[in-house]
Chains A and B, each alone.
Chain A
Amino acid sequence: MNEKTDVLQGTLALMILKTLEAMGPQHGYGIARRIEQVSEGALQLNQGTLYPALVKLEQQRWIKTRWGTSDNNRKAKFYSLTPRGARQLAAEESKWSRVASLVGRFLVNPAGDA
């Protein structure tokens, strides 16, 4: 697989995990809406691409699934974070912030002096 795909999938995975942590158990539609909301429309998500990512996360045992009923009484498949998923999320979050701060240092002071 090429790099582009990995980055795309990695980012999407992170967003899904964070959403589940923030909102608790959600179905696929709910996750998609939430991601669109948070990005304030900047991310036009092809919602079909959500499901392959969900499958991968489930295979990694970071999320688990259960069929249930939604608020408006529709049957839907609910995803929730597992303890392993929570640990993975924490690790990813710290990695992102380390990368962001390192890059940030270069961008603010390109010459390198105060």
Chain B
Amino acid sequence: MDALRRLWTRWAEWRRPGTVEADLSAELQSHLDFLIDDHLRRGLSPAEARRAAQLDLGGLEQARALTRDARGFRVGDAFVSDVRLAIRHLRRTPGFTAAALAILALGIGANSAIFTVVDAVMLRPLPYTDPGRLVSVWEVMSEGLSAPGAAAQPAPPQRTAVAPANLADYAARVKSLSSMAAYSSLGFNLTGGGAPERVLGEEISANYFQTLGVSPAMGRTFSPDENTAGRDRVVIISHALWQSRFGGTPDVLGKTVRLGEPHEIVGVLPVGFVALSQPGAAEPVSVWVPMAFEPGVLTRRQEHLVQVVARLAPNASVESARAELAAVSDAMAREFPDMGTARGALAPVRADQITDVRTMLYVLLAAVALVLLVACVNVAGLLLVRALSRRREMAVRFALGATRNRMVFEQVVQSLVLATAGGMLGLLLGWATTRFLVAVAPASLPHIQDAGLDARVLVFTLVIVLITGLVFGAWPAMQAAKVDPVDALKDGERSVTSAWVVRRRATLLITEVALSAVLLVGALLMIRSLMALDRVDLGFDHSNVLAASVALSPAYGTPEARLKFFESLDAKLKQIPGVTATAFGNRFPLRGNLISGILLDSDPQYKQAGFQAVNPNYFATFGIPLKRGRALAEGDRNGAASVAVVNEAFGRVLLKGADPIGHVIRRGPAMPSITVVGVVGDVRRTGRTDETGTRAAEIVPQFYLPAAQTTLYPMALREVAVKMTAGAAGVPEAIRAVVLSIDPNQPVTAVRTLDASLAIGAAQKRFQTSLFVLFAFVAFGLAIVGVYGVIAYGVSQRSAEIALRLTLGATKTGIVLDIMRRTAIMVAAGVSAGLAVAFVTSRFVANLLFEIAPTDPVTYAIAAAGLLVAGVAAGGLAGLRATKVNPITALK
């Protein structure tokens, strides 16, 4: 019955909100007026009368609060008034509020920012039709190239591009894939219709857009006959390029642009389309041209040239398609022996795009969650102290009938208000941080450019705010609610409750230190990882070496014409001031890699080796030492004997340690025999690490052909490199000028020092390490400040005891040392707990580390030492306050 009546009152209040409150206010006011009249009649002045009346009434606020409690309002009704009350209370203690808000904004903002990145990279759906049914297809060569010196394990299969010859058969035979399209990324110099600009583009098969389920906004896509040389002078452009270069005019179709050759614009893509090769690309991909192979390519199954995207057939799954592709590959390998060991493989496009970064993002999410936890613990400690100072008020309300649940609820609402305010600040901070993260993010984070505030991020932040508020708010509230009113109403600092707060805060402190220890261990592991990475020897000299790509237009039709261009370019480059050596070739280390199957002597089995076509001065330019035999010379030209130089790994891996000099290699059974005349030092072509990023890159067998023997190699010469003296300036411009002096239409692209290329490769590791170190730093800071706060508070609560000891003969130093001893015990407990947790969870970050074990003891020792020293120092500093205690005043 009682409950029903209460429901009725709540219903009435909900219908006309505020009337009951207003009613009570009016009633109390009239009571006050009566009392004032009374006192006035007795002869007090109006001011005195008012004061006396308020004393009699016992304070309007309190009366209001008590009455409200008696009414026993529950959640909905109490909420709004509690929020207002909370805001009022927070404004009355600006110091506490500012500190708490700052800490919360930091924690919530960091989480919001990282989640925004995760959202853009991993959660937002790709801009294609039914993107979940798109798969990336590639080929895997199962004979690895590791040197025998490596640990005795099977060599990991190497992923490589698909050979167009194989693609044709896959498309025809694999029924689980309803359509397969090829693409390959390419850089162009765009001229005509405006200033020359460099653009990224893709060469695509005619069914590329159809496979993705994307229709052009204007015009058409390519027809299959445009995939042949001569018919491929058409281009499709992106929406952004249409706007920027053609002003978004409707008559753009039919216009011509020069991408080397003139191409006619036949289509414009809709806004928001993102090319498949965009992730990891430095600029937006804006043009698409048809892929056209010379007919020979379709017979050579060893030429792995294209990326492939495919759509699953309606009733197929990823697993069934994968199985079918494997079976078809095996059948094809039996039918076509020159397919070698390559087999088809596939994976969903999104998963494939993020494999490299997925672990890093999860780890960053976990780290930033830890930071938030530290922040929560910190704020909880602050709230405990505040709850203590309000204990008397709470005790009175208990004694006069407030329910425990009501008090807890009010406290929770206050925490939620605090959390929400912190959350709004955090969202602002997070937005700024996201802008920063996008700017410094490595290009390997796909779609990072799209990171921004969207519904998912807002919901996530809201959830975080709620959880945060409940986590740091509920516990102090419940603890405060257990306060014994009798004790609280007693006078004096020596009451039970303040010591109880000190104990609770000590627990919180140990938690904070433990969490901070976990992050510290992680950060240290990553730093040492980076240091180990820097120590890996690449085998060539990468300082002061500048490389550039000179992709010759098809006007240089023959390899001989290309060679002539590069040889005259080489002669001119030598004359640039500051240049000490020059080289040219097909692709240089850190900028590209080519693997070929070769036949060695009379062995019919194909072996895999990396290869390059280079000029004789290449080795001097790159600082690669000659070990045996002779290097390539100017005399090694067409017409002379076909020669090659190999690296030491070639002999180790392919010849079981025999001297390679004198052996013969061929790139195919009908191709010219090449004699090995020299051995040079090993290099790591692709950078310091392998694809997993956890081990040093393998050293693979390599052979070098003379650039001048053009009949021996199929790919085009395209790169030059110069070794500069330290501090040489103006070299990139000089290179461009030299190239233009030979051919004014020839673009020079990707002009970068090797050191810069290396930095790009390390970018992801640097990014994750920087963030992790930042989080660890914040957590460390919060924890140490927390130590200081707790010790200082404890000292102030124990000032009487300290004063007593001082009068009984203890020295100030002794007291401080004692405080430091107690601090050390607490910090040590926290550190031990934290290290234990780190030990157990560190295996999750194992594949972010380079050649350092996640349980490396030295790292753990450093982390422990760091926290102990800093913690004890903070405790000592706080303890110094104890020495300021005046025994006489403290003992009162």
Contact = CB atoms under 8 A, between A and B. Distances in A.
Interface of A: 1, 4-5, 9, 27-29, 32, 46-49, 51-53, 55-56, 59-61, 70, 72, 74-77
Contacts of B2: 59-60
B808 interface: no
B66 A48 contact: yes
Contact of A27 (B30, B35, B56, B399): B30
Given A51-B70, A74-B34, A77-B26, 7 more contacts: A28-B31, A52-B69, A55-B70, A56-B70, A59-B9, A59-B71, A74-B33
Interface in B43-96: 56-59, 62-63, 66-67, 69-71
B703 to A, nearest CB: 91
A77 B401 contact: no
B27 A5 contact: no
Contacts of B30: 27, 29, 74-77
B94 to A, nearest CB: 29
A46 B5 contact: no
A97 B647 CA distance: 114
Given A28-B27, A28-B31, A55 B71 contact: yes
B66 A49 contact: yes
Range, interface on chain B: 20 to 34
Contacts of B26: 75, 77
B27 A52 contact: no
B28 interface: yes
Contact of A48 (B5, B34, B57, B399): B57
Nearest to B63: A48
B567 interface: no
Given A29-B34, A29-B35, A49 B399 contact: no
12 contacts: A27-B31, A48-B58, A48-B62, A49-B66, A51-B70, A52-B401, A55-B71, A72-B37, A74-B30, A75-B26, A76-B27, A76-B30
Contacts of B58: 46-49
Contact of A52 (B5, B35, B67): B67
B37 to A, nearest CB: 7
A61 B66 contact: no
Contacts of A27: 30-31, 34
A32 to B, nearest CB: 8
A48 B56 CA distance: 8
A9 B401 CA distance: 9
Contacts of B387: none
A5 B400 contact: yes
Contacts of B400: 5, 49, 52
Contacts of A46: 58
A46 B396 CA distance: 12
B24 interface: yes
A27 B34 CA distance: 10
A87 to B, nearest CB: 16
Contacts of A49: 58, 63, 66, 400
B6 interface: yes
Contacts of A51: 24, 27-28, 63, 66-67, 70
Contacts of A76: 27, 30-31, 34
In the A-B complex, the 9 residue pairs with the closest CB atoms = A48-B63, A52-B70, A48-B58, A29-B34, A46-B58, A51-B67, A55-B70, A76-B30, A52-B66
A48 B62 CA distance: 7
Contact of A47 (B6, B31, B401): B31
Nearest to A61: B5
Interface string B1-22: 0100110010000000000000
A75 to B, nearest CB: 6
B5 A59 contact: yes
Given A9-B401, A76-B27, A55 B34 contact: no
Nearest to B401: A5
A32 B35 CA distance: 11
The residue among A48, A70, A76, A77 with the most chain B CB atoms within 10 A of its own CB is A48
A59 B56 CA distance: 26
A59 to B, nearest CB: 6
B591 to A, nearest CB: 80
Contacts of B33: 74
A8 B354 CA distance: 69
Nearest to A55: B70
Contacts of B28: 51
Contacts of A75: 26, 30
Nearest to A1: B401
A100 B335 CA distance: 112
A74 B837 CA distance: 70
B818 to A, nearest CB: 41
B56 A5 contact: no
Contacts of A56: 70
Which among A28, A47, A70 has the greatest number of chain B C-beta atoms within 10 A?
A: A47
Nearest to B8: A59
Interface in B314-342: none
Nearest to A47: B57
A21 B623 CA distance: 111
A72 B36 CA distance: 13
A1 B28 CA distance: 26
B67 A29 contact: no
Contacts of A77: 23, 26-27, 30
Nearest to B37: A72
A74 B520 CA distance: 70
A27 B32 CA distance: 12
A4 B67 contact: no
